[in-house]
Amino acid sequence: MDSTIYTLKQLSCEQFIEQFKQQMLNTYGIAVTVHKKEGSTIFPKVLLKAADELLTPYKDQFPKGLNSKNRMRLLVYYRAAFCKICFDDGINKKHIGPYIGIHRCTVIHSIKVANDLLSTKNQEFSILYNRLLSKYDEINSKNQREQDIPIV
């Protein structure tokens, strides 16, 4: 097998798996079955970084970002959006809380608040929610461009 370096943009995970299966079959005569785990595609630490970047103008009010102990509407909305995005992506509620320093029950309440705000088409929350998703995508795509994966 030759060692080639591909960027994440050039080679998706699916292509990598297919290439690996073909190489194993050609080289060793072994048919490989790959079981893919259905799971989260959101990286909570990157989402947290995105939220903290969006909260930068309010650093004097929220010095710890989403971890700040404050009930101002803006912070409550960001927490609710963070919890909803993570939960919708399949992350367990008890695993969401530690990222922003809240209890599992608070995560459940935040998800309910987010669902209510989205279902009533609250304009302020909808804008904030979409802004958080956009910022996450921007940071995540930047990280992927900077990373190279060697394939042996």
11-28 residue pLDDT tens:
566 677 788 788 888 888
Do the beta carbons of residue 81 and residue 92 sit within 8 Å? no
Q: Which residue has the tokens 């080639």?
A: 4
pLDDT digits (tens, 9 = 90+) for 35-81: 554 555 668 888 888 888 888 888 888 888 888 888 899 999 999 99
Count of CB atoms within 10 A of residue 11's CB?
Answer: 15
User: Rounded to two decimals, what is the model's pTM?
Assistant: 0.67
Report the C-alpha gap between 43 and 141 in whole angstroms. Answer: 12
What's the mean pLDDT in 125-134? 92
Question: What is the pLDDT at residue 9?
Answer: 43
Tokens of 17: 């798996």
121 with 107: CB under 8 angstroms? no
Residues 6+ apart with CB under 8 A from 1: 23, 27, 152
Q: Alpha-carbon torsion 130, 100, 144, 8, what sign? A: negative
CA-based end-to-end distance of the chain: 7
